Every structure is written in structure tokens, then in C-alpha cells.
């Protein structure tokens, strides 16, 4: 019987999963998929490493009402495919680790208390990450549950990059810039190091653009700065989140419009960004098809903000050697990529229209000083790698 690691990435109404077989000191993908529409229109899809469909099931909402029920259905659906494999650990993406949780950790009751205490800092993600851990603990009693944090990759920032211009006691209380999407950035850094060590040792801006979007400046494999801050609201606009906003706007909305914390949370997390600006959709594909001028304005603002942050991160690193697009928008939205790169010639960034249209791995004009790459991210693979490292260290202590 071979050993395997299950990786779960739990969202508000979905669980992404990937099963890795342990081969020596490596984790090799054997299947992946997701359960979406939990509690509403549950749909399970799973594929093997050759992309053949292993399971494709739908249920009425009440039949998969929560994450516990979803995980049961997932294991039923993929059960035949994992026969002969023993789950030795379950790895979890956890969005916020706060100032202290900066490395993958085994989750026990003490750790769960720390994760729950961080829920107000990531209200869209942390509760569901915790629900995934609880569901997996019930389904796999006694199997190690290991949390990997999206904030951990950014914990090596210099103080100047992390602090707000507030009295120092606030920083001591954890009011600081954390950065997110760290597992994605860490994966891209490892990938570049394997492909081109010299480039990975240089100055790279990675644009993780999806429903949640951020950018990170990475020098010699180390996060120098990121566009996200104390929460996952900061930085560039996203699908439904606002990105950077003048705090005076929030004070005005409270004082002049009578909005309270709940109202602001609903606005900034759920009805801002591309969805709020366009009044149509948070999906770039829908906006690119639309003839509504608000859709064009939303995309134009998004491209402008991303372009601005590329320049800012290049300044933070003293230059740029490569720009990497990743995640759903970054990997697929060709027109939007081109718009983002317009006007970045002063950084040596110029893309080839034909390469970009073909979605080539390298889309810069040949011979240019700054490389522009498109790479698929794989947070689950990064989590599996961390899980194996932690298990190996535990055996040797």
C-alpha cells in the first residue's frame, strides 16, 4: 500500500482537492478536482493525472449542506481511485497566519484556537479554511492535519515594507502589512529556480490575477513587498473586493452615510471591485463580451492599477528582470494582459502580440531586456511539498 497526501483548499462554498502519491521524497499528483456549490447546487468533478474524468456528480443542495458532508461525498466519489493508498496527512491552505504563524504547522486544539482568533482578519476565507480542517479531522481521525499559510512567504519583509505610519504600539499588536497569495508566489519562485536559476536570483514581479488579485516583488527568491496588506482587501481591485481605498472614504461613509462595520464589510468585500464598478459581473470574460461602458471602465481601471503596482514593486526592488502572470486572469486573459503591459516600456517590458494571443509561456518581444512569462500556479503542489517536509522533520526529531 502506497502513502498519499490529500490537500484541501476550502472556500465559502467549495472545496478544491488534490491527491498526491508519495514517491521517495516527492509528491506526485494522482487526481484533483473540486466540490462547488456546497449548500446550493453541489457539483463534484474529479480527474486523474491524465485529465480523464473520474467523478462528475450533482446533488440537491440539502444533500451536501456543509463542508463535512462535502468531504464525505468527495471521498465517496474518488474512493475507487485511491484504493491501495494510505492517507498519511491532510494539508490545508489557511489564508492568515498573523504575525506569529510563519511556517507550516501541525494543527491541534491549541493551534485551532490561534486560527480562530485570526478569523476577523480574513472573514471571507479563514472560517472556511477552519471548516475544512474540522471536516478532514472527522473524516480522517488520527491523521495529521497540517496548515500552510498564505501569509508565511511574506514574513521576511523589511520593517519598512510591513509597517503602517501609526504609533509603534499598533505594530506590536499585529497591525501591520501581511501580504497574501504566498503559496502561489512560493510555487512560482520554486518553478523559476528549476527553470532558470539566474533569473530566479534576480528581480521578479509576479502578478497573481484572479478573483482575488495581488502582486509581489521577489528578489533572489525572497518576498520584498506585496500589494496586499493587513487584510486581503488591499492593493489592486479584484472580483468583488475594492483594493486600495483612501481610509477617509470609509470615515465619510460612516459619518455622512450612516454605514456601520457590517455595511462596510458587505460593500468592500462583496460589492466592490470589478463587480461593483461594472454592475454586471466579477468575471473578466463577461466584462470583455459586454457592450456596457461600465464594463470597459472596470477593466480599464483594473489594468491601470495593476500597471501602477508593477512600477511600484520594480522601484522597491531597484529594477525588474521579469514579469510573471499567473492565476485565472493572468494565465488566460490575453487582451487584459496586453493592456496591463501598455506603457511599461520604460521598464523594458514589451510583449509580442502573436505570442500573447497564442498564450505562449514567454510573451515578451524577442531580445527585450525584461522577460514576460505566463505560468500556471499550483498552490496545492506547494502545500504537499510543505507537508512532506514537516513529516520528514517530525520523524527525525
Nearest to 320 by CA among 179, 199, 228, 193: 199
Q: How many residues does the chain have?
A: 397
What cell does 91 get?
494539508
Name the β-bridge partners of 16.
9, 34
Q: What is the DSSP string of 196-224?
A: -HHHHTSEEEEEE-SSS-EEEEEETTEEE
pTM above 0.85, yes or no: yes
Q: Tell me whether the CATH fold assigned to 2-149 matches the one assigned to 197-374.
A: yes
Angle at the Cα of 153 from the Cα atoms of 376 and 172, rounded to 5 degrees: 150
Q: What is the predicted pLDDT for the residue at 395?
A: 65
Quote the crossing angle between the two packed helices 334-341 and 293-317, to the nearest 10°. Answer: 50
Q: How far is Cα 261 from Cα 253, in angstroms, rounded to an integer?
A: 10
Do residues 10 and 122 touch, judged by C-beta distance below 8 A? no
- Phi and psi at residue 205, to the nearest 5°: -100, 125
Is residue 203's pLDDT more than 70?
Answer: yes
Q: What is the predicted pLDDT for the residue at 394?
A: 64
> In the chain, pLDDT over 70 holds for what percent of residues?
99
**Model pLDDT for residues 226-267, shown as the tens digit of each residue:** 999 999 899 999 999 999 999 999 999 999 999 999 999 999
Which of 43-47, 59-63, 303-307 is predicted most confidently?
Answer: 303-307
Q: How far is Cα 4 from Cα 150, in angstroms, rounded to an integer?
A: 23
Mean pLDDT of the chain: 93
| Strands of the 145-149 sheet, one edge to the other | 53-58, 43-48, 26-36, 14-23, 2-10, 85-94, 145-149, 105-106
**Model pLDDT for residues 62-90, shown as the tens digit of each residue:** 888 888 888 888 888 888 888 888 999 99
Is residue 117's pLDDT more than 70?
Answer: yes
Do residues 190 and 288 touch, judged by C-beta distance below 8 A? no
48-52, 176-180, 192-196, 370-374, range with the lowest pLDDT: 48-52
Q: Delimit the domains of the chain by residue range.
A: 2-149, 197-374
Q: What is the predicted pLDDT for the residue at 12?
A: 67
Q: How far is Cα 377 from Cα 19, in angstroms, rounded to an integer?
A: 17
Is residue 13's pLDDT more than 80?
Answer: no
Decide which of 3.90.650.10, 3.30.420.40, 3.40.50.300, 3.40.50.10320 is the CATH code for 2-149. Answer: 3.30.420.40
Residue 251 CB contacts under 8 Å (≥ 6 apart), including other chains: none
Q: How far is Cα 15 from Cα 35, in angstroms, rounded to an integer?
A: 5
The superfamily CATH assigns to domain 197-374 is ATPase, nucleotide binding domain (3.30.420.40)
Catalytic-labelled residue, pool 32, 150, 321, 378: 150
Neighbours of 51 (CB within 10 A): 7
Residue 150 annotated to the active site? yes
Q: What is the predicted pLDDT for the residue at 141?
A: 92
Residue 245 CB contacts under 8 Å (≥ 6 apart), including other chains: 268
What cell does 156 get?
521576511
Q: What is the predicted pLDDT for the residue at 397?
A: 58
Amino acid at each position: 500500500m502506497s502513502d498519499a497526501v490529500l490537500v484541501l483548499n476550502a472556500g465559502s462554498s467549495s472545496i478544491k482537492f488534490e491527491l498526491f502519491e508519495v514517491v521517495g521524497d516527492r509528491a506526485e499528483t494522482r487526481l484533483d478536482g473540486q466540490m462547488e456549490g456546497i449548500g446550493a447546487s453541489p457539483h463534484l468533478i474529479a480527474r486523474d493525472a491524465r485529465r480523464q474524468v473520474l467523478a462528475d456528480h450533482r446533488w440537491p443542495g440539502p444533500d451536501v449542506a456543509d463542508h463535512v458532508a462535502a468531504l464525505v461525498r468527495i471521498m465517496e466519489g474518488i474512493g475507487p481511485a485511491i484504493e491501495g493508498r494510505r492517507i498519511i496527512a491532510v494539508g490545508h491552505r489557511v489564508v492568515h497566519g498573523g504575525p506569529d504563524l510563519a511556517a507550516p504547522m501541525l494543527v491541534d486544539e491549541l493551534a485551532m484556537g490561534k486560527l480562530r482568533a485570526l478569523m476577523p482578519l480574513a472573514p471571507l476565507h479563514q472560517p472556511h479554511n477552519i471548516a475544512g480542517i474540522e471536516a478532514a479531522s472527522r473524516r480522517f481521525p488520527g491523521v495529521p492535519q497540517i496548515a500552510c499559510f498564505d501569509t508565511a512567504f511574506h514574513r521576511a519583509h523589511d520593517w519598512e515594507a510591513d509597517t503602517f505610519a501609526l504609533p509603534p504600539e499598533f505594530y506590536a499588536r499585529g497591525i501591520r502589512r501581511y501580504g497574501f497569495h504566498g503559496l502561489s508566489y512560493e510555487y512560482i519562485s520554486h518553478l523559476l529556480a528549476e527553470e532558470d536559476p539566474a533569473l530566479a536570483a534576480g528581480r521578479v514581479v509576479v502578478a497573481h490575477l484572479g478573483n482575488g488579485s495581488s502582486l509581489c516583488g521577489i528578489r533572489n527568491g525572497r518576498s520584498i513587498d506585496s500589494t496586499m496588506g493587513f487584510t486581503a482587501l488591499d492593493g489592486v481591485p479584484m472580483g468583488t473586493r475594492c483594493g486600495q481605498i483612501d481610509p477617509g472614504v470609509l470615515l465619510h461613509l460612516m459619518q455622512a452615510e450612516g454605514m456601520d462595520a457590517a455595511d462596510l464589510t458587505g460593500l468592500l468585500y462583496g460589492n466592490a471591485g470589478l463587480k461593483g464598478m461594472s454592475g454586471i459581473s466579477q468575471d473578466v470574460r463577461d466584462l470583455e463580451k459586454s457592450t456596457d461602458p461600465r464594463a470597459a471602465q472596470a477593466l480599464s481601471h483594473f489594468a491601470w492599477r495593476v500597471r501602477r503596482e508593477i512600477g511600484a514593486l520594480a522601484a522597491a526592488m531597484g529594477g525588474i528582470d521579469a514579469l510573471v502572470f499567473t492565476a485565472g486572469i493572468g494565465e488566460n486573459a490575453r487582451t487584459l494582459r496586453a493592456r496591463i503591459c501598455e506603457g511599461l516600456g520604460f521598464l523594458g517590458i514589451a510583449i509580442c502580440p502573436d505570442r500573447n494571443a497564442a498564450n505562449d509561456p514567454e510573451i515578451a518581444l524577442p531580445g527585450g531586456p525584461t522577460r514576460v512569462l505566463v505560468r500556471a500556479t499550483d498552490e496545492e503542489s506547494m502545500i504537499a511539498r510543505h507537508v512532506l517536509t514537516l513529516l520528514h522533520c517530525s520523524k527525525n526529531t
